[in-house]
Structure formats: C-alpha cells, structure tokens
Amino acid sequence: MSNIGIQQKVGVRQNLLQDASKRNKLNGILPFAGLLLVILFFTIVTGGSILDAQNLNNLLHQSFTVVIVAVGAVFVYSHGGMDMSLGALQGITQLGAAWVITSSILPPGLAIPASILIGMLVGTITGGVHVLMGVPAFVASLCVRYICSGITYTVTSKQDIYIPYTEFTQYNSGVIKALVLIVVLAAGYIIFEYTRFGKNLKAIGGNITVAKQSGIATKLNIVLAYAIIGGLVGLTGFFTLTRVGMINASSGQGLELNILTAIVLGGFPLTGGSASRLHSAIIGALTVTVLTNGLTLWGIDPYIIGGIKGLLFILIVGVTYDRSKGKLVL
C-alpha cells in the first residue's frame, strides 16, 4: 500500500474519532442543557414560583424517591439489565415497614432496616431468577412484580393500612432527606465510578462474553446490582410511607416507569456499557420531577400534562439517540 493511501486512512480515522468525541461531548451536555432549559422555562411561565424556597423544599421531597432509586437503577441498567418490579417492590417494603411500626413486639426504629432488607431480599430473588434460571431480566422482574403486587393486594384487601403519622413526621424533614440523598449519591458515585464492582458492571454491559472471559464473576455482580436497587427501593419505601401515612394496593405503582423515563431522559445508555454515567440518571430523575412540578404550577390541565410530557420525551430522545450504534449515548 502506498504512503498516500496509509495517510488517507489515518486521516479518515482521526476525523471519525474527532466526530465521535464531539458527538459524545454534545450528548453529554444535552441532558444538562435540557434540565436547565426546563428550569428556565418554568421559571418564566410560573413567574419564578418554581424556584422559591417552599417549592425547592417540595422538589426535594418529590425528587427524593426517584433520585435514590435512579442511583440503584444505574447499577442495573449499566450491565444491560432492567427491573420492572420497582413499584410493586416499593409497595411491599412499605408494607414491611408498616408492619414493624404497628407491631407491638418490635421497636419502630427497626422499620428502616426491615424495609431495606426486604428490598434487598426481593432484589436478590429477581437477580437470582434472571441469572440462575436464565430468564430475561424483563420477564424475571415482571414475575416478581406480580408476586409483590399479589402480596400487597392481599394484605390491603380488607382495608388501607395507616401508621401513626404524627410519630414519624421527623422523617419528613428536608434536612434528613437532604442528608440521606447526599450519603446515597456519594456512596453510589464512589461505588459505581471507582470500584471494581462498578467497572465490572460496565464491562458486562459492554460485552458479557468478553467480561466472562476476563474473569469477571458476571452472575454474582448482576445479582448484587439487583440487591442494591432493591435495598434503595426499600429505603425510599420507608420514607414514602412516613410521607403519605398509609398504604393501599396502589402504593408504589408506576415507579419503574418513572425510573425508565429518568434513565432515558438523562441520556443513559439502555444497553449499558462503558458510557454509563451515574450523573445521567440523576439529571434524568431531576428533569422528570421538575417537569411534573412545573406543569402543575403552570396550571396545565392534568390530561394535557401527560401529552406534553410525551412530546418532550420524543423530542429529547430524538435528539440524544445515536442511530449509528443503535442505542442511546451519553
């Protein structure tokens, strides 16, 4: 091959790399820009009401669950997994916490660990069914969802379950929730970005066969990822219970869809892999919360809110979808 031919090939390769780098930078900025635009837009249309102190407190409470579960979702989606049981799982973790709180034998303080443990246990079952029985994650989590829903329906069938709300109002404090958020975000960031476990999950998401051949215990890592998301769902289950004060058969419903929306809006790759970043999921979670809050503050009718959210969803996904790889990119 002539020198000119080699130089041309190198030139083409460099151009492709530069294009890819630009595209990655742009796609990395877009979700941030999207969130800022959404905040700016609602600041204008609500006359600044969205950013007043009371509403910032509301946003903290309203984003608490979705941000914390999004941290857990990062571990699942980064390896190419999926969990459709999150809402039903949150329902039974709330049930477990309520049982401890209303029990005359156990101290109410055990409600938090009980809720987390139930979440981790169910998460482990989902992961276990997925990797040990070879059932696709979608199907395994769907089955677990039905089991969890069945338990919640059965227990709440006679009547809604209430907790002594006034005894738990301290858990609704913005300070406590902010502290919990900081701890979960920091721990999630360190574990996902800087530990072998986090890197293993990205490797599994990139190519599971190569990951296995590289000596990664893929099954163990996957099950652990589901246990983590389960534990975090359990944590939010307790706080949701103390925020609402009761459980019925609908408790937790739709959480998995909110998380999926957050993941996609944040530009997180649904197929997982090395491009997975924790901040993408957090940005997506905040965008979902601000959108819902802002549209209500703007006074938009609820049935139009759904349509607007759908249109924005198409717009954001349309802009951030990398067609060359057939997946969403950061």
Query: What is the binding site for other proteins (CB under 8 A)?
Result: 49, 54-55, 58, 61-62, 65, 87, 152-160, 162-166, 169, 172, 240, 243-255, 292-293, 296-297, 299, 301-303, 307, 311, 314-315, 318
Sequence-distant (6+) residues with CB within 8 A of 106 are 100, 114
Q: What does the block give as tokens for 118?
A: 């139930």
- Cβ of residue 222: shortest distance to other proteins, in angstroms? 28
- Cβ of residue 140: shortest distance to other proteins, in angstroms? 22
Taking the C-alpha atoms of residue 19 and residue 25, their distance in angstroms, rounded to an integer, is 10
Residues 244/168, Cβ–Cβ less than 8 Å: no
Sequence-distant (6+) residues with CB within 8 A of 234 are 89, 90, 93, 96, 115, 116, 117, 118, 119, 120
Beta carbon nearer to other proteins, 2 or 303: 303
- Cβ of residue 27: shortest distance to other proteins, in angstroms? 14
Residues 90/240, Cβ–Cβ less than 8 Å: yes
Beta carbon nearer to other proteins, 172 or 271: 172
Q: What is the residue type of 82?
A: M
Beta carbon nearer to other proteins, 182 or 304: 304
Residues 268/74, Cβ–Cβ less than 8 Å: yes
- Cβ of residue 173: shortest distance to other proteins, in angstroms? 12
Beta carbon nearer to other proteins, 86 or 203: 86
Beta carbon nearer to other proteins, 54 or 213: 54
Taking the C-alpha atoms of residue 208 and residue 130, their distance in angstroms, rounded to an integer, is 14
Beta carbon nearer to other proteins, 163 or 191: 163
Beta carbon nearer to other proteins, 108 or 128: 108
- Cβ of residue 310: shortest distance to other proteins, in angstroms? 9
Q: What is the residue type of 322?
A: D
Apex CA 291: angle with CA 94 and CA 270, to 5°? 70
Taking the C-alpha atoms of residue 186 and residue 256, their distance in angstroms, rounded to an integer, is 23
- Cβ of residue 81: shortest distance to other proteins, in angstroms? 23
Q: What's 172-227 look like in SS3?
A: HCHHHHHHHHHHHHHHHHHHHHHCHHHHHHHHHHHCHHHHHHCCCCHHHHHHHHHH
Residues 245/261, Cβ–Cβ less than 8 Å: no
- Cβ of residue 44: shortest distance to other proteins, in angstroms? 16
Beta carbon nearer to other proteins, 62 or 124: 62
- Cβ of residue 181: shortest distance to other proteins, in angstroms? 17
